[in-house]
């Protein structure tokens, strides 16, 4: 087994809270800038993924705490779907993404890192955005300034999102 020293992951581990991290964001709108929240409405919020797969990776998350999408009422689900559709357009047109991955990992066995609260990943993609280090070392290299990407996304959200 190979081990890689990754001190930046400590920030993720150190911020584990007793309260669900997504409910913490829901319940603290005055901390939206600190939490990198891009958008918030009555049904859900959009937040940057602090440990992104690619630059611009963010999530759409319902305020309602559940680990099962089947527990979301139809109005919430349709609203989230509307936002996801607009976010894809925003990434392609406004951010220049050549493709987009959408996904929900439901349950720990389904690959969810935060299994107790459903969340929709929206990941911009570009041809060649992964390299050999991902394949041979199971490591990702993130070569972009997180805060610059957040500010760009925040400006795009204002232009593209209205549900």
Catalytic residues, by residue number, are: 119
Q: Closest by alpha carbon to 87, among 101, 75, 76, 74?
A: 101
Helical (H) or strand (E) element with 58: strand 58-62
Contact yes or no for 55/94 (Cβ under 8 A): no
Could you tell me the two tokens for 85? Answer: 């559709």
φ/ψ of residue 39, rounded to 5: -160, 150
């Amino acid at each position: 087994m190979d081990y890689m020293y990754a001190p930046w992951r400590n920030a993720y581990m150190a911020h584990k809270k007793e309260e669900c991290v997504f409910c913490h964001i829901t319940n603290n709108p005055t901390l939206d800038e600190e939490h990198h929240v891009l958008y918030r409405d009555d049904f859900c919020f959009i937040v940057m993924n602090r440990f992104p797969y690619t630059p611009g990776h963010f999530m759409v998350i319902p305020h309602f705490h559940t680990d099962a999408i089947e527990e979301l009422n139809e109005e919430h689900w349709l609203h989230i779907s509307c936002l996801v559709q607009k976010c894809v357009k925003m990434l392609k047109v406004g951010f220049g993404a050549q493709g987009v991955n959408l996904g929900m990992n439901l349950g720990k066995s389904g690959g969810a890192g935060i299994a107790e609260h459903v969340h929709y990943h929206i990941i911009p993609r570009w041809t060649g955005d992964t390299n050999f280090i991902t394949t041979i070392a199971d490591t990702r290299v993130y070569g972009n300034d997180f805060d610059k990407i957040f500010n760009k996304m925040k400006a795009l959200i204002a232009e593209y999102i209205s549900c």
